[in-house]
C-alpha cells in the first residue's frame, strides 16, 4: 500500500533496550521508513538478546550501533554525531532499568550516552511487567522524565509475556508509535490554511440491506475521503467525517460518524452542519431495497427473489440545495465513460462548486473492480470556469492539493 511520506527528510534515532517487546521493533522501523524517515538504530546488549543487529540493519538499511567503544565509529566521536544528527530520538522498548538510567543521567553504554548527549526531543515507549511499572521507583523516574520534557506513549494494558500475567505494561504497538512520530513533526494547526474552519466530509460506500446478511453496495474503499479528512485536519480545520463501512482507521483528531445506509449518511451529514466546506467523496448507493427481509432469504428452488428497489436520497444535492449549505461544496464523480460530460452535468444539476471526476472503468482485459480501492488517483477538477486535468498522484497528494485549493477559494470568498 502506498503510504504518505510524512517523515520525508527526517532522521529518527531508534534506541532499543533489553525487553521482550524488542521483537516488535523491525515492524516499527519498517513503518517509519515507509513514511520516508531515515532510521538509525542503537541497541543495548540486552536488546541483542532478543533481536539481532543484522535484522535491524537489513530493515533500516543503515549500520546498527551497539558499542560505545567501537574504534571505527568513535574515531569521529560517533556517539555525539548520532545524538546531534537525529531530529527525534525514540526509545522503544524502554525498560524500567533504562528509564532509571535516563532519569539519573547515567551514561555507561552507547544508548545511555547518546540520550545524555542529544539536543533532540525524545519519545519513549515503556515496556515492563505491571508490578515494575507500578513500583514507586518507576513512578518517580517517570515523573522526573516527564518534567525533563520527555514524551511518553503507553504503556498499554494487556497480556504479558509471563504466563498468567496481565495489566499495564505492554509496549505501544508499532503503528501507534509511528503515528506519534508523525504527530511530533506535524505542522502547527493553529497556523493552518483552514484554522478555525469546519469541514464535513463523506467517505466510503453505503450498505443497503436486502436481509440480515446481504446488502447492496459498491467497490469504494473510502481511501480518498479519509485522505481528505487527514489533509483538512492537518490544515487546521475541525473535521467531521461521515463514513460508510470501511476497514480504515479514522485519522487522528478527526471526528468520525459511522453510518451504514444512504438515509443514515444524509441524516448524519445534516446533523454535522453548519460547515464552511462540504466534501462529498462517498460512493452512495443509488438504490436501496424497498422492503428488506427480516429473516435470511433461502433458496427454495423457485428462483431468485424479486427485489423492489427505491431511489436513495441524493446526499450531495440535498445539502447543496439546502438552506444550511456550506460556502463551498465539492462532489465526486466516478464514471466509466464520458467522464467530463457526466461530471459537468452533475456540477450544475447538484449545485456544486466543484466536481472531482475520475474514470474508474477497468483497463481492457482487466477484471472489474481493479481501479477502485487503489492508492493512486487520476482526476480532473471541474468548475463553472472549466476543467483541470491533474496527473496521476497518490490519494494523499490529491487530497492535499484539493484542500489547498478549497482553502484558497474560501479565503477569496471571505475577503470578497
Catalytic site positions: 218
Quick one: how far is CA 302 from the chain centroid?
Answer: 48
User: Are the C-beta atoms of 157 and 126 separated by less than 8 Å?
Assistant: no
- Closest by CA to 170, choosing from 98, 94, 90, 112, is 94
Q: Which CA distances in Å does 162 have to 24, 130, 170? A: 17, 11, 12
Report the sign of the C-alpha dihedral through residues 349, 352, 353, 354, in that order: negative
What's the CA gap between 396 and 362, in Å, rounded? 22
Which run of H or E residues covers position 216? strand 214-216
396, β-bridge pairs: none
Q: Which three cell numbers stand for residue 378?
A: 487520476
Distance between terminal CA atoms of the chain? 42
User: Are the C-beta atoms of 88 and 12 separated by less than 8 Å?
Assistant: yes
Report the sign of the C-alpha dihedral through residues 344, 348, 354, 357, in that order: negative
Which run of H or E residues covers position 383? strand 380-383
User: Are the C-beta atoms of 362 and 368 separated by less than 8 Å?
Assistant: yes
124, β-bridge pairs: 91, 152
- Closest by CA to 51, choosing from 91, 74, 4, 17, is 17
What's the CA gap between 175 and 314, in Å, rounded? 37
Torsion over CA of 92, 96, 97 and 99, rounded to 10 degrees? 60
At 155 the three-state DSSP class reads: coil
Q: Where are the alpha helices (DSSP H) in 35-95?
A: 53-60, 71-74, 78-85
Q: Which DSSP symbol is given to 192?
A: S
What's the CA gap between 62 and 70, in Å, rounded? 16
Amino acid at each position: 500500500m502506498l503510504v504518505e511520506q510524512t517523515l520525508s527528510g527526517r532522521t529518527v534515532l531508534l534506541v532499543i533496550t533489553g525487553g521482550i517487546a524488542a521483537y516488535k521493533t523491525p515492524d516499527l522501523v519498517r513503518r517509519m521508513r515507509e513514511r520516508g524517515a531515515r532510521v538509525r538504530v542503537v541497541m543495548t546488549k540486552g536488546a541483542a538478546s532478543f533481536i539481532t543487529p543484522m535484522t535491524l540493519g537489513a530493515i533500516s538499511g543503515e549500520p546498527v550501533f551497539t558499542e560505545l567503544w567501537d574504534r571505527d565509529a568513535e574515531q569521529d566521536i560517533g556517539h555525539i554525531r548520532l545524538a546531534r544528527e537525529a531530529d527525534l530520538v525514540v526509545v522503544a522498548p524502554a525498560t524500567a532499568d533504562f528509564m532509571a538510567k535516563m532519569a539519573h543521567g547515567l551514561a555507561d553504554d552507547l544508548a545511555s550516552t547518546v540520550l545524555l548527549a542529544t539536543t533532540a526531543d525524545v519519545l519513549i515507549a515503556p515496556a515492563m511487567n505491571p508490578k515494575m511499572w507500578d513500583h514507586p521507583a518507576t513512578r518517580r523516574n517517570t515523573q522526573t522524565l516527564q518534567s525533563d520534557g520527555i514524551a511518553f506513549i503507553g504503556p498499554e494494558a494487556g497480556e504479558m509475556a509471563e504466563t498468567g500475567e496481565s495489566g499495564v505494561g505492554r509496549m505501544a504497538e508499532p503503528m501507534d508509535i509511528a503515528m506519534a512520530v508523525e504527530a511530533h513533526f506535524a505542522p502547527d494547526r493553529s497556523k493552518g490554511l483552514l484554522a478555525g474552519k469546519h469541514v464535513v466530509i463523506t467517505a466510503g460506500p453505503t450498505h443497503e440491506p436486502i436481509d440480515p446478511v446481504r446488502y447492496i453496495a459498491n467497490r469504494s474503499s473510502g481511501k480518498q475521503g479519509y485522505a481528505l479528512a487527514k489533509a483538512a485536519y492537518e490544515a487546521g480545520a475541525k473535521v467531521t467525517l461521515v463514513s460508510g463501512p470501511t476497514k480504515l482507521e479514522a485519522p487522528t483528531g478527526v471526528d468520525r460518524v459511522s453510518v451504514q445506509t444512504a438515509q443514515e449518511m444524509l441524516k448524519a451529514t445534516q446533523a454535522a452542519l453548519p460547515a464552511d466546506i462540504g466534501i462529498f467523496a462517498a460512493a452512495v448507493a443509488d438504490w436501496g431495497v424497498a422492503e428488506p427481509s427480516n429473516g435470511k432469504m433461502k433458496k427454495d428452488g423457485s428462483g431468485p427473489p424479486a427485489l423492489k428497489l427505491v431511489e436513495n436520497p441524493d446526499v450531495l444535492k440535498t445539502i447543496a440545495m439546502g438552506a444550511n449549505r456550506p460556502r463551498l461544496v465539492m462532489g465526486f464523480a466516478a464514471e466509466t465513460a464520458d467522464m467530463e460530460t457526466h461530471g459537468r452535468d452533475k456540477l450544475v444539476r447538484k449545485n456544486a462548486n466543484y466536481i472531482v471526476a475520475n474514470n474508474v472503468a477497468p483497463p481492457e482485459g482487466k477484471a472489474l473492480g481493479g481501479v477502485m480501492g487503489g492508492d493512486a488517483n487520476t482526476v480532473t477538477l471541474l468548475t463553472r470556469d472549466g476543467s483541470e486535468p491533474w496527473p496521476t498522484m497518490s490519494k494523499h497528494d490529491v487530497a492535499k492539493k484539493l484542500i489547498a485549493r478549497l482553502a484558497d477559494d474560501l479565503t477569496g470568498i471571505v475577503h470578497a
